[in-house]
Amino acid sequence: MPEGDTVFRTARRLHEALAGAEVVRFDLRVPRHATADLTGEVVHEVVPRGKHLLMRIGGFTLHSHLKMEGRWMVFGRGERWRAPAYQARAIVGTAAVDAVGFEIAMADLVATADEDQLVGHLGPDLLGPDWDAEEAARRILADERAVHVAILDQRNLAGLGNEYANELLFVRGILPTTPAAAVDAAGLVETAARMIRANRDRASRTFTGDTRPGRQNWVYRRERKPCLRCGTPIRRTELGATQTSERIVFWCPRCQS
């Protein structure tokens, strides 16, 4: 599942493949930008911002969001793509490689000076060079909703998805429905930062320290299975800011009481 750590690794891979090279092929297969052409421009850098990718080319930024299914893949010039061509939404090619975004949910092109129109609403970035733990904790404490909802709101802190939210609350011993204003927000965001940084460079994400299949998670997608800490069956429900934004929540009724 693409969360902040996945996006960070994707940005690093794209940057290594594209930065400093001239664009020889540019194709956005989305109606609004279908005629855009940045061939002849130079790729300056590719950077992550929470769960968003920013590819800075010439004076423009190609912004993309992976959502649930999206992925960027890099192929050598002339190499056969390892995904169906009809899933391609964005192609940025140089003399050496093609970077292809498959099934990306968002693809926007704006002047780099206008990036804030797309990502300016985001809170402190857990993997960003300007990570501000105090500001993230302040935003969490000011949120009147359940803590699980608050930490998934990218306006509070950027980079966490549902898997992280569930695992984070288990490790901190917090019931997901607890009001955000009632938790140790400073401790929560400090643990979140340690978690995502530990996974940032791993090929296989783990929260338990064990990378064996079925052992990487404490609670996420483990409903009715015994808690790895106390043996109590893990429970599952849905929780969200609205009925249409509910996410699946997993917790241990003993460890998170």
Catalytic residue annotation: 2-3, 51, 247
Per-residue CA distances from 5 to 111, 199, 225, 242 (Å): 26, 6, 27, 26
Bridge partners, residue 54, by sequence:
47, 63
| Side chain identity, residue 253 | P
Please tell me the distance from the alpha carbon of residue 157 to that of residue 192, in angstroms, as a whole number: 10
Per-residue CA distances from 10 to 140, 211, 214 (Å): 28, 21, 25
Q: DSSP assignment of 180-247, as one string?
A: GGGS-HHHHHHHHHHHHHHHTT-SS--SSS--STT-S-SSTT-BTSBPTTT-PBBEEEEE-SSGGG-E
Tokens coding 182: 């009632």
Q: How many residues does the chain have?
A: 257
